[in-house]
Every structure is written in structure tokens, then in C-alpha cells.
């Protein structure tokens, strides 16, 4: 067993920022589920950190919201008190984004100055910061799509925004594992075909599709399982629609895809589990694989309950939290598998 000297402050910093990004994903999901994302119509990177503190300021922000289609076409009866609720969700989401940027960059500069990180690690960690900045720009690009002609944000931009958030989470988590975990040399071997990595990529694709489902409120239709009403395939669509790129604008098809990718994820994981449990050379992976299995089963149950409830906010939010936990367990399995 070989253990590298670890910097406890560096490890704690990476853990903190990773948890902040996880919280950001949860708050972002709730912002979407409460239709709060368009409540702040301006992107004031620095001055926007101060919330409205007077009645006049609240009226000003509300007057800006009244100019966009979401208000004029859907929420024209909204009161100032109701506006404050959706405003705070979006404000917290944006504030977390700013805090993540600061909590990441300032310690990173300090650790660089103190030479706590080497050349390759510097490139990796600064690349994450660049991605965090890009994510902020994409977030505003997403919001802009709902400020003029649409009553909601583009589901494509929403999907990109969420997927990049998970990529940032994964990169931070990987670096946290790298700096905090003991480097162990096993006599055992890694799984064939890099199956845990394949499994994780399919999970990411499922999250991308899930964001499209959320963006079109596709979880609120076909509130039955395992069939979609009385059919395996949605009865308002045709199989030929799967060959059309426009399928990503079809809520029924998107829910169909989300369901079936979930089945694929479960099937692939059963293969991984079978290989691990039928070869003693993979004994070191058993504990991590059981964590993935538990997270996967809980996520499947939450997904089914979310469908049956018509995407009730609490269940839909728990389903998104479940995806964070599942990704965590999958990356943990990937790391242990790669540590050989």
C-alpha cells in the first residue's frame, strides 16, 4: 500500500466546493420546478449580488418581470408577494454561482502560490475554473431564451446547463478522490471494456435527456407505469418519430426515451454486478458496486413515483438529488477500478 502525503486544507477545499456544486444543482432543479428562472431579467454580475432591500427596488424588479412573455401570457395575475417567492429561488441560485466562483478561485491561487499542486494538477484545476465561468455564461444564455418570444427557457439550453453542472461536479469529485484517497496497488485487475466509465457516460446522457424532459414538462404527461397509459409506446406518437430529429421537441417521445434509457442503465449495471460477483479478482470492487446498486434502485423508485405523481415538486427534486448520489457512487466505482 502506497500513500501520498495529502494537504488537508486542499482536500477540505475540494470537498467544500464539490458539495457547493451539488447544492447548486439541487437549487437549480427547484428553480426550474417552481418556474422561477425568469424572475430576474438582468445579468448584473457584481451589483446583482445585492437583493432588493426596499419597496421601490422590489417594484422595480417586478416591473422588469412584467415586460416578459412569461408574465404577460401566463402570470399576469401574479402579485408582488408571489413574485418575491420566485425571485428568491433565482437569486439564491445566482448567488451560489458567484460564491462557487469565489470559493474556488481564491484558494486555488493560494494553493498555486504555496506550491501545493504540481504542473498537471494546476492545468486540471484551472480548467475546472474556466468551465465554471463558461457555465455562468451558459446560464445567462439559457435565461435570455425565455425573455423575448418564449414563455420559458429553451429546453436545449437547460439541458446543456445541467449537463455541464454535472461535468463540473464529476471533475471536482475526481480531484477530491485523487487528493484524499489512499493510493492502493491491488493484485486484482480492472473490469473489462472500462465498463464503469461506459456506465457513467450513459448516466450522463440520461441526465441530459432528463433535463429535456424537465424543460418541456414532459414528466407531467403519461402518469402511469410500466405502460404509458395502455401502451408501451406513447399513443400520441409513432415509431417513425424516433427517426426524426424533431423527436427532442416531442414531450411524449422524450418521456419514452427517458424511461427506456433507465432500463438500459439498469441492464448494463446488472452485467457489471454479475462480472464483479463471479470473479474473485474483482473482490475489491464489491463494496463500491453495492453502493451503486442501492443508489440506482432508489433512483428508479423515485423516477417511477415522479411519473405517477405528475412530477410533483418534492418527488421531482428528490429524483434529481438521487441522480447526484448515483453519479457520486458511479465515480467512486470508476476511481477504485482505475486505481489498479
Between CA 289 and CA 282 the distance in angstroms is 10
Helices (H) and strands (E) in the chain, counts: 10, 0
pLDDT score at 244:
83
For 142, list phi and psi in degrees, rounded to 5.
Answer: -65, -50
Distance separating alpha carbons of residues 172 and 23, to the nearest angstrom = 14
8-state DSSP, 73: I
Q: Is the pLDDT of residue 233 over 70?
A: yes
Q: Is the pLDDT of residue 3 over 70?
A: no
By the 8 A CB rule, do 15 and 180 touch?
yes
Which residues, 6+ apart, have CB-to-CB distance to 116 below 8 Å? 7, 9, 10
Cis omega before residue 239 (within 30°)?
Answer: no
Give Cα separations from 308 to 60, 99, 262, 319 (angstroms).
Answer: 40, 37, 16, 13
Looking at residue 183, its pLDDT comes to 58
CA distances from 279 to 3, 270, 276, 305, 330 (A): 27, 15, 6, 35, 20
> Which of 306, 274, 297 has its CA nearest to residue 33?
306
Q: Please count the CA atoms within 13 angstroms of the CA of 50 that sit on its side-chain side.
A: 5
| pLDDT tens string 136-186 | 999 999 999 988 888 889 999 999 999 999 999 999 999 999 988 755 555
Do 222 and 255 form a contact (C-beta atoms < 8 A)?
yes
Tell me how many degrees the CA angle 33-34-37 measures, rounded to the nearest 5. 90
What is the per-residue pLDDT for 280? Answer: 83
pLDDT at 166: 97
pLDDT tens profile 210-225: 999 999 999 889 999 9
pLDDT of res. 184: 53
Q: Could you tell me which residues come within 8 angstroms of residue 321 by beta carbon, excluding any fewer than 6 positions away?
A: 26
Work out the number of other CB atoms within 10 angstroms of the CB of residue 18. Answer: 21
d(CA 284, CA 289): 9
Say how far apart CA 149 and CA 29 lie, in whole Å.
23
Mean pLDDT for all residues in the chain: 91
pLDDT at position 182: 59
pLDDT digits (tens, 9 = 90+) for 62-79: 999 999 999 999 999 999
Q: Is the pLDDT of residue 1 over 60?
A: no
Q: What is the pLDDT of residues 275-328, one digit of tens each?
A: 999 888 888 899 999 999 999 999 999 999 999 999 999 999 999 999 999 999
Q: Give residue-wise pLDDT tens across range 97-129.
A: 999 999 999 999 999 988 888 888 899 999 999
pLDDT at 186: 52
For the chain, how big is the Rg over CA atoms in Å?
22
Q: How far is CA 298 from the centre of its chain?
A: 17
pLDDT the model gives residue 79: 95
Amino acid at each position: 500500500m502506497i500513500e501520498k502525503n495529502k494537504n488537508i486544507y486542499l482536500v477540505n477545499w475540494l470537498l467544500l466546493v464539490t458539495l457547493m456544486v451539488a447544492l447548486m444543482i439541487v437549487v437549480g432543479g427547484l428553480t426550474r420546478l417552481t418556474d422561477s428562472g425568469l424572475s430576474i431579467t438582468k445579468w448584473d454580475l457584481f451589483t446583482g449580488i445585492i437583493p432588493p432591500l426596499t419597496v421601490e427596488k422590489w417594484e422595480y424588479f417586478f416591473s422588469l418581470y412584467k415586460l416578459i412573455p412569461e408574465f404577460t401570457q401566463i402570470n399576469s395575475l401574479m402579485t408582488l408577494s408571489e413574485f418575491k417567492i420566485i425571485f428568491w429561488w433565482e437569486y439564491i441560485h445566482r448567488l451560489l454561482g458567484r460564491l462557487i466562483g469565489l470559493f474556488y478561485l481564491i484558494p486555488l491561487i493560494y494553493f498555486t502560490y504555496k506550491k501545493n499542486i504540481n504542473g498537471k494538477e494546476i492545468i486540471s484545476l484551472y480548467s475546472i475554473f474556466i468551465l465554471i465561468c463558461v457555465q455562468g455564461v451558459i446560464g445567462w444564455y439559457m435565461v435570455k431564451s425565455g425573455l423575448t418570444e418564449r414563455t420559458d427557457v429553451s429546453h436545449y439550453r437547460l439541458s446543456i446547463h445541467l449537463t455541464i453542472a454535472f461535468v463540473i461536479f464529476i471533475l471536482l469529485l475526481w480531484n477530491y478522490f485523487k487528493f484524499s484517497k489512499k493510493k492502493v496497488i491491488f493484485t486484482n485487475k480492472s473490469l473489462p471494456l472500462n465498463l464503469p466509465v461506459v456506465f457513467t457516460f450513459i448516466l450522463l446522457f440520461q441526465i441530459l435527456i432528463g433535463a429535456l424532459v424537465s424543460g418541456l414538462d414532459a414528466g407531467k404527461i403519461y402518469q402511469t407505469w410500466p405502460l404509458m397509459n395502455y401502451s408501451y409506446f406513447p399513443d400520441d406518437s409513432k415509431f417513425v418519430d424516433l427517426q426524426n430529429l424533431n423527436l427532442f421537441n416531442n414531450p411524449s417521445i422524450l418521456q419514452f426515451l427517458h424511461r427506456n434509457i433507465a432500463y438500459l442503465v439498469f441492464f448494463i449495471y446488472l452485467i457489471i454486478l454479475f462480472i464483479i460477483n463471479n470473479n474473485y479478482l474483482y473482490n475489491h470492487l464489491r463494496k463500491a458496486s453495492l453502493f451503486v446498486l442501492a443508489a440506482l434502485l432508489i433512483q428508479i423508485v423515485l423516477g417511477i413515483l415522479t411519473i405517477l405523481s405528475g412530477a410533483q415538486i418534492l418527488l421531482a427534486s428528490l429524483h434529481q438529488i438521487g441522480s447526484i448520489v448515483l453519479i457520486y457512487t458511479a465515480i467512486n466505482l470508476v476511481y477504485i477500478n482505475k486505481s489498479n
